[in-house]
Amino acid sequence: MLSIFSPQLMLGYLFSLNFACAALTTVWISLASLLAGILIGLLLAAGQEVPSRIVRGGIAGYLWLFRGTPVLLQLVFAFNVLPMFHIVLPAYGCAVLALGLNEGAYMTEIMRSGIRAVGPGQRTAARALGLEERQIMLWIVLPQALRIVIPPIGNQFNGMLKLSALVSVIGVQELLLMADQTASMNFRFLETLTTAGIYYLAMTTVLTVIQAFIERACSRRRGRSAKASGFKLFSPAKLGMVR
């Protein structure tokens, strides 16, 4: 019958416009969901320090719900159940909504661990300098926390790139759906799935390189000695607190 594997066919798919566009869709959905997740994470992680019990309870409830149910369930819920409440979002809207909210839950925990990792000495020193709680969070804690959480966030972005494959079930034209549709015409699943696999590998590899670059850049700025840059950056003179 037909050969098991046709390299020409696979190369054809690899450089076709269809797959390239689908890969772009995968990237933008992953980016959008990750960004939404980071914003939610930052907000809620900071929100967990608020004195209000209701706010903290609400955040705990959100975390419980979105980390306790499968992403696929949240996705199908957004796609099939929300319309019953007259919220009909297009497929990619549902994708970013479900993935973003799910990511936000995990990001909250990541941010919280990052914030916690910033030594209490920093906060004490900041308070001694006369900074308010909000200023401490914004200028002292969060910048240092963000540097600490770069590896976990890179990890999440890597996971998100692959999690985006789930949105194929709600009809978003991303890599996996493109592979499925192409194969459904000529049944060459090996070539189409290998092509999709190569694209995913390429994207995650590029991401890993970018992450390594960012980590190195941040550690370089931190300096060889804390005295050299850390204090200079946050010196009272710089913060305009010395009259």
Partner 1 sequence: MLFRTLSLSLTLVVTALSSLPAAAQTPLPLIEKGKLTWGTNGTFPPFEMMQDGKMIGFDVDLVEAMVAKMGLQSAPSIIDFKGLIPALLGHRIDAIISAMYINPERSQVVDFIPYLRIGDQMLVAKGNPLHLKALAEMCGHRLAAAVGTVYEKQAEALAAECEKSGKGTLTIISLTSTAVSALALREGRADALVASVPTVLALVKESPDAFEITGDTFDNNTLLGLGFAKDKTALKDAVDKALKAIVADGTYAKVIKKYGLPATASLF
CB of 152 to partner 1, least distance (A): 33
Give least dist CB 187 to partner 1, A: 5
Which is nearer to partner 1, 10 or 170 (by Cβ)? Answer: 170
237: helix, coil or strand? coil
Cα-based angle 224, 226, 229 (whole degrees, multiple of 5)? 85
How many amino acids of this chain bind partner 1 (CB under 8 A)?
Answer: 20
Name residues contacting partner 1, limited to 139-198 (CB under 8 A).
Answer: 169-171, 173, 177, 180-181, 183-187, 189
Q: Smallest distance, Å, CB 88 to partner 1?
A: 6
Residue 6 or 80 having the CB closest to partner 1: 80
DSSP string covering 148-215: HTHHHHHHHHHHHHHHGGGGGGGT---HHHHHHHHHHHH--HHHHHHHHHHHHHHHHHHHHHHHHHHH
83 touches partner 1 by CB under 8 A: yes
Which of 6, 80, 124, 205 lies at the binding interface for partner 1 (CB under 8 A)?
Answer: 80
Nearer to partner 1, 63 or 167 (CB): 167
Site for partner 1 in 91-130 (CB under 8 A): 91
User: Which of these ranges, 13-21, 44-52, 78-86, 131-139, lies near partner 1 under the rule CB under 8 A?
Assistant: 78-86
Does 1 bind partner 1 (CB under 8 A)? Our answer is: yes
Two structure tokens written together for 132: 């308010």
Does the protein bind partner 1 through residue 88 (CB under 8 A)? yes
Question: Please, are residues 179 and 196 in contact by the beta-carbon 8 Å criterion?
Answer: yes
| Torsion over CA: 78, 79, 82, 86 (sign) | positive
The span from the CA of 100 to the CA of 114, in Å, is 20
Q: Which residues bind partner 1 (CB under 8 A)?
A: 1, 80, 83-84, 88, 90-91, 169-171, 173, 177, 180-181, 183-187, 189
